[in-house]
Amino acid sequence: MQRLYRKRIILGVGGGIAAYKSAELVRRLKDQGAEVRVVMTQGGREFITPLTLQALSGHPVHLDLLDPAAEAAMGHIELARWADLVLIAPATADLMARLAQGVADDLLTTLVLATDAPVALAPAMNQAMWRDPATLANVELLRSRGLKLFGPASGSQACGDVGLGRMLEADDLAQLAADCFEHLALTGKHVLITAGPTQENIDPVRYITNHSSGKMGFALAEAAVEAGAKVTLISGPVHLATPDRVTRIDVVSARDMLAACEAAMPCDILIAAAAVADYRPEVVAQHKLKKDPNSGDGLLLQMVRNPDILATLAQRDDRPFSVGFAAETENLLEYASRKLKDKNLDLIVANDVANPSIGFNSEDNAITIIDRSLQQSSFAQTSKGKIARQLVSFIAAQQPKS
């Protein structure tokens, strides 16, 4: 169940006898690589202690909506944003009724209203309570709002009855939680992304660079994480915040970037979105270069070629699936196709940086992807975040099925 690797799961524990299974569920989720935070209702605390779940999850258990200490650390809104999945197990008849009515009178019900993450319920109650018309109506209402139901199972119950209402076992719930991430097509993949410009020093004061903002590469890193990948982002000098759950390595020059990429290998997928300087000054002056007051001549710099990062990595014995970018101002598709072939790439992403609405420092982009057979797939202008998700989905579709 690699789909749970690095996933953030809030486990809500309601007030039912099946709460004893929650301890085993925490273990099963963590065994599969998930990070688990536990939120308990007042009733849940009557059946299993917070200390038990804290020891198993490795994190303090969240108990009260208006807890000053908790709000200072990870408040209920931050906790709601943190989650990739909210799984409530056990979900009692009372808890499901409150969720159906949109009640937010404790931490767990408030989290469900505040989160954009999927919410799944594992019902646990007496068989008569499960088949009561009010419960069944609540179930249909919750399903219509997009909440998932895991179970219930049929079997013997603590009260001695036999029938539907028994909470699923921990292994089954962990499998169903993993199934919620089935669409995350890059789970288990290591994606290496380069972003931003490079800087090549002339002297201690001046350098050569370009207009790249790094926005596209950073958007790709975020999209790759959303798709379940482990992401290493190697960035030239930019003023952007590191996307959540991305390992970022800052570099300056093209040679720095190549060294960082080689140190980060092997990877499964390489996306080279950085605008790397093709040339650098042959000699870097030790001190600031001064103007000659007696001469009106210009400054002559002897330039030498920088290493080709993308071509170097695409030629390795442990070659990753290699995706390059062609930022051009003319003959876009011709130059991009040539670069695809010359650098031995799997895909090339062509974008017209002469168009200010989709060029360097813009918020939008529009791209054409060219594959090895020179087939083209175009994505219309939209935000760089949406373009990044479209591109990551396209790349994921090219990966061999495991």
Radius of gyration for the chain, computed over Cα atoms and rounded to the nearest angstrom = 27
Percentage helix, strand, coil, to 5, in the chain?
35, 25, 40
- Whether 49 contacts 56, CB under 8 Å: no
**Alpha-carbon distances of 47 from 25, 50, 69, 90, 300, rounded to whole Å:** 15, 10, 24, 11, 79
Q: What is the DSSP letter of 381?
A: E
For residues 350-369, b (16+ Cβ closer than 10 Å) or e, as one string?
A: bbbbeeeebbbebebbbbbb
CA–CA dist 308, 340 (Å, integer): 13
Helix (H, G, I), strand (E, B), or coil: what is residue 285?
A: coil
Q: Is 261 a catalytic residue?
A: no
Spatial contact of 390 and 228, defined as CB atoms under 8 Å apart: no
Active-site choice (159, 180, 261, 267): 159
Compute CA 23 distance to the chain's CA centroid, rounded to the nearest angstrom: 27
Rounded (5°) CA angle 374-258-268: 55
Catalytic residues: 159
